[in-house]
A and B are shown apart, each in its own frame.
Chain A
Amino acid sequence: MDNLSELLHGFTIAVTVPHLVLMVVGVLLGILVGVLPGLGAPNGVSLLLPLTFGMQPVSAIILLSSMYWGALFGGSVTSILFNIPGEPSSVATTFDGYPMARDGRPTTALATAFGSAAFGALIGVILITFLASWVAQVALAFGPAEYFAVYFLAFASFVGMGGAAPIKTVVALAIGFAIAAIGIDTVSGSVRLTMGVDELVKGVSFVVAVMGLFGIGELLVAVEEEFHARAVSSKIDWREVFRAVGRLPRHGVALLRSAAIGCWMGITPGGPTAASFMSYGIARRFSRRGRYFGTGEVEGIISPETADHAAGTSALLPMLSLGIPGSATAAVMMGGLMIWGLNPGPMLFVDQKDFVWGLIASMYVGNIVAVALVLLTVPVFAALMRIPFVVIAPLIVIICVVGAYSVSNSYLDVVMMLGFGIVGYLFKKLFYPLAPLVLAIVIGDKAEDAFRQSMLMSKGSLGIFFANKLVTCLIMAGIALLLLPLVLQLARLWRKPASPATETTAQEKVII
């Protein structure tokens, strides 16, 4: 129980008035940058970084990590209210969060999201506290082949399940892979698919794609259907915030499963994005109400949010103990660590005990501060839904345009964002699923790099994916997930040969 006494020592560092003030400031700033799409946690943290140069490293990391927690929570707000995910990892939250908010239950959606996110984060920190050294060892076992297997698993858990026709899922995936390939290729170093446009050398930013696909695409559908033309008459009820959080334990299985997936993906390190998608995919398959996913299901919010935060939190561990940042924000913080004169790596836990355990203790306290603050803001954010569509629609356009432009101050990005908006609209109208497209854009190039690195290592033999127990298990699990729906379908056909097509029409509406 060495870790426990270290942790208690950490609390004496974290729970001091100046540090609590820093946490509150950090969380509030974080919520702000999280809510403003396009700014996002990595940018927010790098803006704040120069201010921390004069601080004690512990204070500095507490400020920055609190901002990170705030931004993670804030990122879910726009996903739920406006269908605009501010971070790749909150895309999956839109699938059920947005329908629920449109359904007049924004308070429930937000409170559920925040409550389950806090649970996920807590499990993540507990994992870091007790298994730090073991986890660092696990992460070392991951070479390119294992990385590929993890990404494969994420794709497999999501792909087989969508309500769309399998062929449409494949088409969406293929388009996503093509978009992910734009820019400079890591493995060959050459420029791909830029079609002579110099600016495309930097690749297509996730934010640009998602703002168009979700924000603008949804807006176009809404305008056409006049479905959202009136404001949602949501009752703002304080008690509903607590009721929604109080109802969470009923979904204990989903919470635990999602936290486990999140921790696993955070340390392996597949990252929060892969974690949230995978958790959503698996929940949809195994939940009793799986077929209603996409219409505003509670578990459809719990699963991605819990996994996202569990992964986001546990991803800080590889950063500290190995020096590999698990996310873009962690990368910025790592740069900060170097500037403060600390070297992330195996020795940090030995040399800088105060720093490491102060940080870990601050994760507990910071997350509590964050969830308290963010729950307080729920009624404010939920009230946004009362604003009439004619006012909110132009605002969404402005947010998307500014967000896309601010990624790298480029007009081309704005044009591309609008283009993605049309793609998003067409996908919706033609019942193509957006999720595989986004998943492929976000982790497609990583999966490709890992695959080609493996091929270089094995000199072209696929045997490398079955070279040891770890990678074999991962690949087999992926294949199993991929084949499962097929097997289930065959079994169903076997039982009732002429099944009526009533179910498919119901599902046609909830393609995600």
Chain B
Amino acid sequence: MGRTSIFMLSAAATMLAGTMPALSAWQPQKPIEFVATAGPGGGTDNLARAVQNIITKHKLTEQPIVVVNKGGGSGAEGYVYGKASAGDPYKVIFGTSNAWQQPLVSKVAFNYTDLTPVAAMAQDEFLLWVKQDAPYKTAGDYLKAAGSGEFKMGGAQSKDTDEVLTRMIEKAGKVKLTYIPFKSGAETAVQLAGGHLDSHVNNPSESLGQWRGGTQRPLCVFSPKRLPQGAKVTATEGWGDVPTCVEQGLDIKQYEQPRTVWLPGKVTPDQAAFYVDLMKKVQATPEWKDYIEKTSQVDTFLTGVEFDKFIKQDLEHVKQVAGEQGWLVK
């Protein structure tokens, strides 16, 4: 894209923003820090860097942006840092649903209420994956075979999204699975490829390369409707060809992981509004569409009351699963 068209685009974006009544009065006066609650290279880190890149490229703010990684303690390090920075509008925290899920199941020194929610920007889908040469063709077959009680399900982290979903599958399918936690989805995918596991519930981007390479395939997606078709992944199939789990008799309608953006607590509404606005502008760029497509995520934008509602619903749900498993921290 040429220089002029970038200029036109940003001019258009400014005009668009100008017509909006909610144009924030507050503007940042010094460099902004993006805190990724994950190590370099993971999905959360990629999001923070993609957003940084888009903002810089389109000059959406005058101030420079630095990305720092605080992924220790499954992301707790970053959230605790956000909590400690209360009132500082120059720290933006990028995370997932573990902002509200983690405090439920482990003794960490923060809760999502210590932070100011900005938005949920993208949803990562979950699929049920098996090894390429596994005999089962549908989720129904899989559940039948899993009745033996010998199945090993892998996932990233313990008591996190992957394990919650595993427990939901156990309940919905009336089976018992042995859950083995690994450090990341990528590691789990390799373990499945090597035949050390029977299945996992990776996000699309975590197993995309493996699917193309013919080491594993998805049985179904935990979504109310099939994913958008997009380009073919293998010679014959694309994401849109993967049936939903409900279609195949595994009754879990929806399970997804939002990528979330937060500010520290005690910032003013003006300051929060500035970032909501900024993220909206980011989402309107072609680079964002590109990022969403390449990482096979679903574009969403939840903010304000809607975001709040989403958190509350998810929280209720996780609380129920965690309660049944005896994971809740006292």
Contact = CB atoms under 8 A, between A and B. Distances in A.
A448 interface: no
Given A50-B52, A189-B74, A457 B40 contact: no
B87 interface: no
Interface stretch (B9-17, B180-188, B222-230, B278-286): B180-188
A245 B257 CA distance: 54
Interface string B203-229: 001001110111100000000000000
Interface string A449-491: 1000100110100000000000000000000000000000000
B191 A332 contact: no
B138 to A, nearest CB: 25
A338 B193 contact: no
A202 B76 contact: yes
Given A140-B193, A338-B294, A46 B183 contact: no
Among the interface residues A50, A328, A344, which one has the most CB atoms of the partner chain B within 10 A?
A: A50
Contacts, number: 152
Contact of B209 (A139, A143, A190, A347): A347
Contacts of A323: 186, 189-190, 209-210
B212 A186 contact: no
B6 to A, nearest CB: 12
Given A190-B106, A323-B190, A331 B39 contact: yes
B181 A186 contact: yes
B294 A341 contact: yes
Nearest to B50: A339
B183 A186 contact: yes
A2 interface: no
A141 B194 CA distance: 6
A29 B190 CA distance: 33
Contacts of A45: 40
A46 B181 contact: no
B46 interface: yes
B118 to A, nearest CB: 22
Nearest to B163: A189
Contacts of A183: 72-73
A348 B209 contact: yes
Contacts of A408: 68, 70, 72, 77
A343 B212 contact: yes
A453 B212 CA distance: 27
Interface stretch (B20-28, B154-162, B243-251, B267-275): B154-162
A325 B196 contact: no
Interface string B33-54: 0000001111001100110110
A408 B106 CA distance: 22
Contacts of A142: 194
B292 to A, nearest CB: 13
A335 B40 contact: yes
Contact of B182 (A186, A325, A332): A186
Interface residues of B, number: 59
Interface in B104-132: 105-109
B109 to A, nearest CB: 4
B295 interface: yes
A131 interface: no
A339 B180 contact: no
A370 B134 CA distance: 46
A324 interface: yes
A324 B187 contact: yes
B41 A334 contact: yes
B194 A453 contact: no
A53 interface: yes
B40 A189 contact: no
Interface in A48-62: 49-50, 53
A144 B186 contact: no
Contact of B186 (A185, A187, A324): A324
A189 B73 contact: no
B70 A202 contact: yes
A332 B291 CA distance: 17
Interface string B285-314: 000000100110000000000000000000
A203 interface: yes
A37 interface: no
Given A190-B106, A322-B193, A453 B182 contact: yes
Contacts of A345: 208-210, 212-213
Given A50-B53, A184-B106, A144 B46 contact: no
Among the interface residues A46, A184, A351, which one has the most CB atoms of the partner chain B within 10 A?
A: A184
Nearest to B191: A143
A47 to B, nearest CB: 9
A142 B42 CA distance: 22
A338 B46 contact: yes
Interface string A172-200: 00000000000111111111000000110
B107 to A, nearest CB: 5
A144 B180 contact: yes
A287 interface: no
Nearest to A344: B209
B2 to A, nearest CB: 13
A184 B209 contact: no
B178 interface: yes
Nearest to B84: A198
B41 A189 contact: no
Given A201-B76, A338-B46, A347 B180 contact: no
B157 A189 contact: yes
B106 A143 contact: no
Contacts of A266: none
B108 A191 contact: yes
A163 interface: no
A42 interface: yes
B296 to A, nearest CB: 10
A191 B106 contact: yes
Contact of B194 (A46, A143, A331): A143
B180 A453 contact: yes
5 tightest Cβ-Cβ pairs between the two chains A and B: A345-B209, A202-B72, A346-B213, A189-B158, A143-B196
Interface of A: 42, 45-46, 49-50, 53, 139-144, 183-191, 198-199, 201-203, 322-325, 328, 331-335, 338-339, 341, 343-348, 351, 408-409, 449, 453, 456-457, 459
20 contacts: A50-B49, A140-B190, A140-B194, A143-B196, A185-B158, A190-B107, A191-B76, A191-B107, A191-B108, A199-B77, A202-B70, A203-B73, A322-B193, A323-B190, A334-B186, A346-B209, A346-B210, A346-B214, A408-B70, A408-B77
